Amino acid sequence: MDNISLISDMILKSKKLVVFTGAGISTESGVSDFRSPGGIWDRFDPSELNFQSFMASEAGREKYWQFSKALWPEIANAKPNPGHYAIAELHRLGRLDCVITQNIDDLHQKSGIPEEKVIELHGTLKWVICLECGQRYPREQIQLRLESGVKAPRCDACGGITKPATIAFGQAMPERETREAEARAAACDLFLVAGSSLVVYPAAQMPLIAKSNGAKLVIINLTPTPHDHYADVVIQGKTGPAMSQIAEQVKARLA
């Protein structure tokens, strides 16, 4: 049996499928990955955009917002690609427990997966949050302020520092999401990685949690990952074409 059929078979037999996604699935929608050349990351230095610099000074916050202002149109205009739609199809077919994602671009939700089934480990760009009082603002609203010349927006309610609701370099992982992701990984019987190189924590940890609790592990990624040797099936390639074929086969065999 070829790998696509093997994975389809595993999905059909699975009672709890968790899909884990990273930058690899979003680059196929044209979203820039800071690891790859080209795009917005050529104009900004990731080492200047960490949480410590953001908290340390107004200049640090202005720099961060300058970057975020330039990034937002790319994210706002990005459309889900066949990889996202294939995962949404698995959801429609009743085969998906949840998606755990490292991405901040809302593309799983845009593809039709309900909000409550998407666990965002690195937060979301869709919201801006006040670090003092927790007030949330839609990103579009803050973007208008940035465009009107505000350099580092403050909270209307309390005057506190606001920040995109994403996890910056050096910022603590969100507790609730991390715990939830670990619990889902531990409880699933099939863990499918789509487009993550599994190098940063806690992403690197999740497949191991799943595997050590008895789940089968599938990894689909363009490049090798440190966990390939733990996996039951590995496909080295793009996420979109592989996931589309898998979803089509699952659908056909359910019909």
Q: Would you name the residues annotated as active-site residues?
A: 122
Nearest to 251 by CA among 81, 4, 17, 12: 12
Which range, of 87-95, 97-105, 127-135, 167-175, touches Zn ion by CB under 5 A? 127-135
E strand residue ranges, 70-176: 98-101, 118-120, 123-130, 136-138, 162-166
Going by the DSSP 8-state scheme, the letter that residue 169 receives in this structure is B
Q: Does 128 bind Zn ion (CB under 5 A)?
A: no
Q: In angstroms, what is the minimal distance from the CB of 23 to Zn ion?
A: 31
CA 205 to chain centroid, in Å, comes to: 15
User: Judged by CB, which is closer to Zn ion: 158, or 254?
Assistant: 158
58 φ/ψ angles, rounded to the nearest 5 degrees: -60, -40
User: Judged by CB, which is closer to Zn ion: 132, or 180?
Assistant: 132
User: Judged by CB, which is closer to Zn ion: 56, or 158?
Assistant: 158
| Greatest pairwise CA separation for the chain in angstroms | 61
User: Judged by CB, which is closer to Zn ion: 136, or 179?
Assistant: 136
Which range, of 13-21, 77-85, 131-139, 216-224, touches Zn ion by CB under 5 A? 131-139
Q: Which residues 146-165 are close enough to bind Zn ion by CB under 5 A?
A: 155, 157-158, 160
The one among 50, 135, 171, 249 contacting Zn ion by CB under 5 A: 135
Which range, of 22-30, 72-80, 106-114, 128-136, touches Zn ion by CB under 5 A? 128-136
E strand residue ranges, the chain: 17-21, 98-101, 118-120, 123-130, 136-138, 162-166, 190-194, 216-221, 233-236
Q: Does 131 bind Zn ion (CB under 5 A)?
A: no
User: Judged by CB, which is closer to Zn ion: 155, or 218?
Assistant: 155
For the purposes of burial, counting CB atoms within 10 Å of the CB of 228, is it exposed (0-12), middle (13-18) or buried (19 or more)?
Answer: middle
The helix/strand/coil state of 36 is coil
Give the interface size with Zn ion as a residue count (CB under 5 A): 8
> What is the four-CA torsion angle of 19, 23, 26, 31, rounded to 10 degrees?
160
Q: In angstroms, what is the minimal distance from the CB of 136 to Zn ion?
A: 10
Q: In angstroms, what is the minimal distance from the CB of 164 to Zn ion?
A: 15
Binding site for Zn ion (CB under 5 A): 130, 132-133, 135, 155, 157-158, 160
